[in-house]
Amino acid sequence: MADFNTHVFSAAVLASVGAAVCTKVFNLPPETALLLSAAGVLGGVLPDIDLKYSVPSKALFSAIAVFICLTWLLANIARYSVLELSVATAAIYCFFRYPIWALFHQFTVHRGALHSLAALLMFGLISAVVGFHWMGLSEALSWLLALFVSMGFALHLILDEIYSVDFMGARIKRSFGTALKVIDSERLPASCVILFISLVAWFWTPDADSVLELGRNVQPDWKTVLLPHYLLKP
Ligand SMILES: [Zn+2]
């Protein structure tokens, strides 16, 4: 399998280029590029969240905990005092980083059901729901967020599969076929839970037709925002 640094680097390259293109072509605010890049990197390390005691698992649970803390803090900053905000934020962080992390690893196996295309669908839909309902993004931007998380996730699965082929020795390692699978057929109950969560998340997602709004925002001269002007001149 590809290592953590390879996953982060590859996802960062793909997501930042993709985010720059979307921001320019769809005429989105510049901070959107940062958000979409972060979403792509998150998707790029998400499949290894089930690797207990690994950098991705600890870092992801810390990042998710910080993300939940920050969004809760921003949503409630006017309502509570600084002391209340600090105590509640610390409690939320510890809850997600320790008991939820330990509970999660009780039920997961590395390269199991979470390392599949079904999980990609689930995390993509959850991203759209979180973006719309929790982060207060527009419907179209929530779907774009989901697309970037899914894109990073797909890149991770593809990279793991590529790394399971030993090109120098021209042989296939035993892990081949375990990274990129539609569902985990060896753990069907876990796969069913993932599909069920995806179905529930689908009902909470914003209107999918909103993505068409992005099409209306496309820069009429989109070529000029992607390429330097001296390359476009005849
Ligand atoms: Zn992996």
Q: What is the pLDDT of residues 95-134, one digit of tens each?
A: 988 888 888 887 777 777 788 899 999 999 999 999 898 8
**Residue range 33-85, pLDDT digits in tens:** 999 999 999 899 888 887 777 777 788 788 888 888 888 888 888 888 899 99
Instruction: Find the 160 Cα to ligand 1 centroid distance in Å.
Output: 6
pTM, 2 dp: 0.78
Instruction: Find the 116 Cα to ligand 1 centroid distance in Å.
Output: 10
Q: What is the mean pLDDT of the chain?
A: 83
Instruction: Find the 203 Cα to ligand 1 centroid distance in Å.
Output: 29
Instruction: Find the 115 Cα to ligand 1 centroid distance in Å.
Output: 7
> What b/e string do you get for 23-58 counting C-beta neighbours within 10 Å, with b at 16 or more?
bbbbebeeebbebbbbbbbbbbbbbbbbbeeeebbe
**Residue range 128-176, pLDDT digits in tens:** 999 898 888 888 899 999 999 999 999 999 998 888 765 555 555 665 5
Instruction: Compute, in degrees rounded to 10, the torsion defined by CA atoms 173, 40, 110, 63.
Output: 140
d(CA 73, CA 69): 6
Instruction: Find the 1 Cα to ligand 1 centroid distance in Å.
Output: 6
In order, the DSSP letters of 106-147 are HS--TTSTTSSHHHHHHHHHHHHHIIIIIS---HHHHHHHHH
Instruction: Find the 93 Cα to ligand 1 centroid distance in Å.
Output: 25
- Among 127, 89, 105, CA closest to 52: 105
